[in-house]
Amino acid sequence: MKEYTLGKTGITVPQNAFGALPIQRVSTEEAAHLLRRAYDGGMRFFDTARAYTDSEEKVGIAFEGMRDKVYISSKTMATTKEKFWSDLETSLTLLKTDYLDIYQLHCAARCYGEGDELYECMKEAKKQGKIRHIGITAHKIGVAEDIVKSGLYETLQFPFSYLASDRDIKLVEDTAKAGMGFIAMKGLSGGLLTNSEACMAFMSQYPALPIWGVQRESELDEWLGFFGKEIEMTDDIRNFIENDRKELLGEFCRGCGYCMPCTVDITINQCARMSQMIRRAPSQNWLTEHWQNEMMKIESCIDCGICKTRCPYELDIPNLLKKNLKDYKEILAGKEI
């Protein structure tokens, strides 16, 4: 397993890290078990956020008494200094620590610079020793490029997978040249990519730290399995990736959920990518009565457009939902998938 140093932070860890968003969906006992198994298996970097409901609390419980053995990053979606300090203190309390290795502005709409309230808060928090390194996350490539050019942040977290464009890859390379650490989120593109070896082989080619979202022990087993063997790009994997890219590239939903909640209660982050999920996962899981009812909610869409304004990828969500519903109905009527 390769090691990766996050830019000038000096944080050096295996290129195989734990994304703690999904553990909000399991019990505290299950989450703590997963996190400790991840540590025992070789993972040392754990990423969470204030927005992930009880994820921070679960991470805090799992690593109580061993804080110096792990690196923990968290995030705030604050837009005011009051909310920034409130979020930071809450995160520190729940994580049972007096410092964060990296604190990130979460899903930044722009690059916050010198004089901006939030960036000044970051500098003050670092001065106080409550955070060790200043980070930021973004979903839009233009915002991410501005962040790298600013030279103000120590780490950047951005979606990166083998569906990446040339522009995305250049962003990773430019981040490294700027002495910044690159944290790769959505390495599975919201669950659309199912070949873990291909995902790991792709990531191993770049100066990036992937944080794999883990919810089940079987998923964790796959990632921990890579500590026992060296993964590298092969012709077979390269061909697999190329075929997958041909199938998936274009307008597709990554399932991030920032579009939610929906005015008429559509589960947008699943329904808008149903056509891919039903073909890339066991189809019966998506043909249940529950999901049929969820998909039919699309017929109630009022085209308010709120989801479009929230989408980090600027997708035409109402039309994407309608396309997925049409395909879904055809599948229910007997179309082969």
Residue 254 lies in a domain: no
DSSP string, 203-227: HTTSS-EEEEE--SHHHHHHHHHGG
SS3 102: strand
Check whether residue 207 and residue 277 sit in a common domain: no
**Domain annotation covers residue 256:** no
252 domain residue, yes or no: no
User: What confidence score (pLDDT) does residue 149 get?
Assistant: 98
Evaluate whether 72 touches 48 at the Cβ level (below 8 Å). yes
pLDDT of residue 162: 96
φ/ψ region of 106 (left if φ > 0, alpha if ψ in -120 to 50, else beta) reads beta
In a domain, 250, yes or no: no
Number of domains making up the chain:
2
Judgement on whether residues 183 and 320 belong to the same structural domain of the protein: no
Residue 111 has pLDDT above 90, yes or no: yes
Q: Which of 190, 220, 237 lies at the terminal end of a domain, its last residue?
A: 237
- As a whole number, the mean pLDDT across the chain is 95
State which residues form the domain around 300: 268-332
Q: Indicate if 47 and 180 belong to the same structural domain.
A: yes
How confident is the model at residue 229, as a pLDDT? 87
pLDDT in tens, 246-266: 888 777 788 888 899 999 999
How far apart are alpha carbons 185 and 22 in whole angstroms? Answer: 13
Banded model confidence at residue 289, pLDDT cuts 50, 70, 90: very high
Give the strand pairing for 3-5 and 12-14: antiparallel
Residue pointed to by tokens 């419980």: 61
Which is it for strands 17-19 and 45-47: parallel, antiparallel or unpaired?
Answer: parallel
**pLDDT at residue 280 is higher than 90:** no
Output the domain CATH number for residue 28: 3.20.20.100
Q: Confidence class of residue 65 from pLDDT cuts 50, 70 and 90?
A: very high
Task: Tell me the whole-structure pTM to 2 decimals.
Answer: 0.88
In sequence order, which residues have a C-beta less than 8 Å from that of residue 325 and are 6 or more positions away?
271, 274, 295, 296, 298, 299
Residues 16 and 110 in one domain: yes
Is 300 contained in some domain? yes
User: How far, in Å, are 76, 133, 186, 323 from residue 157 at the CA level?
Assistant: 13, 13, 10, 31
Residue 115 in any domain: the answer is yes
State the residue for tokens 């979020």. 87
Residue 109 lies in a domain: yes
Residue 192 has pLDDT above 90, yes or no: no
Q: Give mean pLDDT, residues 64-84.
A: 97
Shared-domain flag, residues 276 and 219: no
